[in-house]
Structure 1
């Protein structure tokens, strides 16, 4: 995948993501040099150079906004069947080049193969959902006076700016890009500089090969300057941001100052509640998946594992055993369960949370150590209010466990922050679980499942510090990526008395 490496595993001949196509460039319908220069990306597991992309600056973003606005009108007016065919072809291309694309995701994000496969499957699902959107109703017929037709119809914002993170770069980009395009918008996309290929170049190449008209999609890897320009560019009418709560505050403030529609999907301090009638082995497996998957670098990870006292010892023992035996290493080098974290800064932050929590009274039962970017699966017990492991989003492979006695106590613990994006409740008693779910504010709830759950057709998002209540998925995308226009039609203009 580097220009000298054969680890990409591409089929014979020119690879689909041939670096010669995009080396040092950004995408505006063609691959062009960026005014901001170039950016070198490295593989977290090895430190090897993976490639060089363009590096967009504010001028690149402003130019892209103007070009996208110019292309948007014809795109929105084009035949809906032709637009749907583009999304279906894009999904077919993902399937056709699955192995090559999976390898990029593994190397760029530090993902195991199962996570890379999941991203690609979900990307295809989002593309098919986008194609299906074009056959859905996009308005309402309103009550009106005799002889007048009154319609509330959904119309595009014009240009949508998308900013996506490093952890699930393909899914968290395509889930905004695909419906934004389907609803008739053009898109200017800024992927994270740590994952500009799997979160950007890949998407540009897929749509380019699928026949998307030039200028409708722009892909501009860039830093803070590019993000700020996206939020203030006059030609861009909406910002769809996925990332940390801290960054979301900055994006929301700047975009709001320029009166842009915003969809903010931010971090979450999510809760997995395990009641005392659950099966301990199943409960431990759910807890391990919800805390260790992709090194815990998922916004839906269970930041709090809440165990009822009667089952706590049995679940903790099994979870500790799993943490100690899960293999950690280079996903490209063998059968591992956890790969590297994205960068040294994230490792240092997670380790500081673990050390500070232990100093405050938590008990370390497994993990808490690392080599380079590889952090061992970690189990902390005795988490309580005031400890960093209880209060902060972990974004690392750490199970932070609190034991409770009553259902009311579990509800209070799960509701202790305003940022619960996802809630899981494990119990065979569905009525009991529903009573808990009804009292814990959360963007989505999963009874008898852990917290890391998403489907392309289902609404996804959270409120409070987890976002502004924006939703991605299915018919909800019509509300998110369009605005309502009132249209009236009369058979003839009336004669007014003035």
Structure 2
């Protein structure tokens, strides 16, 4: 397939609001984290733009849901074909806009392809149940779309995390208004909008409105938006949940994490080190499922910490668009300051800095902290940076207590040669995702993704959970003849 999918002349300074158009909120530049230079420009949505798009989406949703299911399924298959044909062009934008290394960008694309095929497959799945009923009565429970779903997505995996909500929401018959993160509006919004438009999605069914917090609040409170799917920080998620509750809206919150990777005394130390490196340094640790705490048995902790420090010192850091590196830039200068504050405060409280702890511009060196205690910010706060935080334990019970000593509840990993021991531990961890003999950063479009506590409100995306998230039950009964009631 020839030509450029991401033809900048089509979307520069614009958003998709029925058609590609300027908005009343003006425009803003997209900055490349590695160079701090502008690489694009998009429209900024004001609250009045949200109001117009939500109303337009509500009108368009009826026709979309009424289309034959086979025609709707074709749209998602066509998106997959287009994405595969323009893979390298899309990957380049992900690398430049998010600071990701190229393999991470390719992983995002592979994951979105999977979600495309899953969305198409949803159109042929059963949408309801036949319930027990009295003679002469047919009792049905069927899944119906909410109407318009608002999606607010984050910067770290923008293409994947936008698509993970948008595609199943559309597949279940909803229209969608997407607000991508203003730091990554192209890979988090423009890319998906161009794909859906080119694949033949009817006009008005999908709107893409980049913007700031006021844009998001307008989306959450709009009367035509029936549900909000939010992925982002716990602080922002609390605000979204508060507003959605006030307006009696369904809300799915997938928030932060302070995930524990537990290394038991019988673990394969080489595989544990390999997994731990991936869990904390992949995409500079800017992943909600990153291992924020490495809980290591006291018999192994010295070796584990030393080997992690050796790895950290060998990892190349630089601009992933022009260099072959393992660690790219953090998303903003503000995020660099956040990471460094946590590291330096923890060192002042007694943590040992074994590697890293320095930065240049937006590039933070992979860092290893040992002797971290529960009182330190490296143990308690979500870092969202390339930091391995190591805490020792002596018994399984202590490891479980340390892992559960957090307000978060997203992911955990347990390394052990004893599967039964690992399973027993997994049952006691208050998390939504747990992996025995693996690390914490795992994702699959067919699994129910989500956490508990400060990691989310128990909602889930993915696989069978998509039906729970993006539809609601309607009970319908049909009688042969109307009953004669005594009143």
TM-score range, shorter chain: over 0.9
Is residue 140 from structure 1 mapped to residue 132 from structure 2 by the alignment? Answer: no
> Is contact 2:18–2:56 with CA below 8 Å preserved after alignment?
no
Partner of 2:325: 336
> Is contact 1:284–1:316 with CA below 8 Å preserved after alignment?
no
Encode CA deviations 1:233-264: one digit per residue, 9 max, x unaligned.
Answer: 00000000000000000000011100110000
Is residue 49 from structure 1 mapped to residue 38 from structure 2 by the alignment? Answer: yes
Partner of 2:59: 70
1:418, CA displacement in angstroms?
2.8
Partner of 1:89: 78
Partner of 2:175: 186
Is residue 245 from structure 1 mapped to residue 234 from structure 2 by the alignment? Answer: yes
Encode CA deviations 1:415-438: one digit per residue, 9 max, x unaligned.
Answer: 001312001001111011011111
Partner of 1:4: none
CA distance in 2: counterparts of 1:420 and 1:231, whole angstroms: 25
Partner of 1:202: 191
Partner of 1:8: none
Partner of 2:259: 270
1:474, CA displacement in angstroms?
0.8
> Is contact 1:340–1:374 with CA below 8 Å preserved after alignment?
yes
Encode CA deviations 1:384-403: one digit per residue, 9 max, x unaligned.
Answer: 11110000011000000001
CA distance in 1: counterparts of 2:201 and 2:252, whole angstroms: 24
Q: TM-score, normalised by structure 2?
A: 0.99
> Is contact 2:261–2:413 with CA below 8 Å preserved after alignment?
yes
> Is contact 2:355–2:369 with CA below 8 Å preserved after alignment?
yes
Counterpart of 1:301 (choices 270, 273, 290) is 290
1:316, CA displacement in angstroms?
1.4
CA distance in 1: counterparts of 2:299 and 2:253, whole angstroms: 39
CA distance in 1: counterparts of 2:411 and 2:486, whole angstroms: 59
Count of aligned positions: 487
CA distance in 2: counterparts of 1:102 and 1:422, whole angstroms: 27
Counterpart of 2:120 (choices 128, 131, 145) is 131
CA distance in 2: counterparts of 1:437 and 1:228, whole angstroms: 37
1:493, CA displacement in angstroms?
2.6
Gaps of 5+ in 2: none
> Is contact 2:18–2:53 with CA below 8 Å preserved after alignment?
no
1:137 is paired with a residue whose SS is coil
Partner of 1:448: 437
CA distance in 1: counterparts of 2:81 and 2:438, whole angstroms: 31
1:306 is paired with a residue whose SS is strand
Counterpart of 1:258 (choices 247, 254, 257) is 247
Q: TM-score, normalised by structure 1?
A: 0.97
Partner of 1:221: 210
CA distance in 2: counterparts of 1:73 and 1:279, whole angstroms: 55
1:278, CA displacement in angstroms?
1.4
> Is contact 1:29–1:208 with CA below 8 Å preserved after alignment?
no
Partner of 1:175: 164
> Is contact 2:285–2:385 with CA below 8 Å preserved after alignment?
yes
Partner of 1:29: 18
CA distance in 2: counterparts of 1:318 and 1:283, whole angstroms: 11
> Is contact 1:141–1:150 with CA below 8 Å preserved after alignment?
yes
1:28, CA displacement in angstroms?
2.2
Encode CA deviations 1:297-341: one digit per residue, 9 max, x unaligned.
Answer: 000000100000111122112111110000000001121001000
Counterpart of 2:477 (choices 464, 488, 492) is 488
Partner of 1:159: 148
1:92, CA displacement in angstroms?
1.1
